[in-house]
Structure 1
Amino acid sequence: MNLYVDIDNTICITPAEGNDKYERAVPLMERIADINRMYDEGKTITYWTARGQASKKDYTALTVKQLAEWGCKYHSLKMNKPSYDLFVDDKCCHSDSFWKKPLSEYQAHGQTAKRAQMVQKGWGHEIVFVNNEKYCGKILHFHKGGKFSMHYHMQKQETWYVDSGVFMFHYIDTATATIVTQHLMVGDVITNQIGQPHQLICEEEGDIFEVSTTHHDSDSYRIFKGDSQLNV
């Protein structure tokens, strides 16, 4: 079976207005999981979008990036969907009929329900449930043996809470130029200050809750590579 699946307001909630509306799209992870299951069952999945058809702007790079960040499984992406108001076809199915939970249920109380963003990493994955101009919240899931790079931030200060698992924590004492090591167990809390090089190595699979100031992708400065940089 071949399935063509729309993106905006089908597998994500996209604002109706704004030059950056596609950048502000919020993934609907339940729907994405359903499509991923169909992919795993052997169905051919094509994502088809009208992004840029009206404005003539190329949104291919952004769309590929978002599909990767949202963990979407698919065979191909087509960017040339006609920007029509209504499709009439003998094989057409409205997304609210395809899924039992309609889009409107994600928008209760006049507020758009947001879905957490899952980002795959070499050491496991992270679930980003908020990242705005004031603060960031994540759940870091490590598989056994997974490790961070030794890195630091110049803008972000972060605090970790160990919810499960056992971790080896390394940080560089910049005053003495030595690497300090300690174990982190369930219930431990530790704060990484701005400019403090730090690294985690997972000894038993587990989760760490992270709260921090705003996360910026460009604000990670690596000293030693971790699992996510093995092929970089």
Structure 2
Amino acid sequence: MQRFESQILEEYKNNIRKNNKTLVVDIDGVVASIVEDGDYFKAKPIKKNISILNNLKECGLKIIYYTARGSVSGIDWEDVTKEQFKRWKIKFDELKFGKPAADLYIDDKAATPPILLELEKEIKNKF
């Protein structure tokens, strides 16, 4: 794990202890496979990450999914996405569209999917 992600994990652990528990999670590349042609009907579930995030939700974290699906094409993928979440049994509090499409996001609270394993361990140790 990179140093920056270690700092984020430590900060998040502190927030868990203070009961400030909200995760904003991207869909594609985290709980759904990346589709090169933008046809999200073809997306497949990433079961390991879905399981971890569902466990975090069950432990009391608020989970918000925020996606750029349709931001470039203008296609409304909301119904498809909701159906996928239902089929894949994804637990969540909110589903938001309108995330700007980008090649890279720089955010002081950002983390890559491998940090999910560390968060899951921390939550399981707490409860």
The TM-score normalised by the length of structure 2 is 0.72
Query: Map of 1:94-105 to 2, 5 A cutoff?
Result: 94-99=112-117
Partner Cα separation in structure 1 for residue 67 and residue 117 of structure 2? 19
Check if 1:64 corresponds to 2:82: yes
Check if 1:30 corresponds to 2:48: yes
Maintained 8 Å contact 1:39/1:73? yes
The number of equivalent residue pairs is 98
Compute the displacement of 1:15 (Å): 1.9
> What fraction of aligned residue pairs are identical, expressed as a percent?
34
Q: Provide the secondary structure at the position in 1 that maps to 2:41.
A: coil
Task: Supply the RMSD in Å over aligned alpha carbons.
Answer: 1.5
Q: Provide the secondary structure at the position in 2 that maps to 1:12.
A: coil
Partner Cα separation in structure 2 for residue 15 and residue 87 of structure 1? 19
Alignment-mate amino acid for residue 36 of structure 2: A
Compute the displacement of 1:27 (Å): 0.2
Higher alpha-carbon Rg: 1
Check if 1:54 corresponds to 2:38: no
Check if 1:9 corresponds to 2:29: yes
Compute the displacement of 1:88 (Å): 1.0
Compute the displacement of 1:5 (Å): 0.7
Partner Cα separation in structure 2 for residue 91 and residue 52 of structure 1? 24
Aligned to 1:93: 111
Alignment-mate amino acid for residue 84 of structure 2: Q
Q: If each structure's strand is expressed as a fraction of its own residues, which one has the higher value?
A: 1
Partner Cα separation in structure 1 for residue 88 and residue 65 of structure 2? 13
Aligned to 2:63: 45
Maintained 8 Å contact 1:14/1:24? no
Q: Provide the secondary structure at the position in 1 that maps to 2:42.
A: coil
Compute the displacement of 1:89 (Å): 1.2
- In the TM superposition, structure 1's runs of 4+ consecutive aligned residues that sit over 3 Å from their partners are 96-100
Partner Cα separation in structure 2 for residue 99 and residue 50 of structure 1? 24
The TM-score normalised by the length of structure 1 is 0.40
* Higher relative contact order structure (alpha carbons within 8 Å, sequence separation ≥ 6): 2
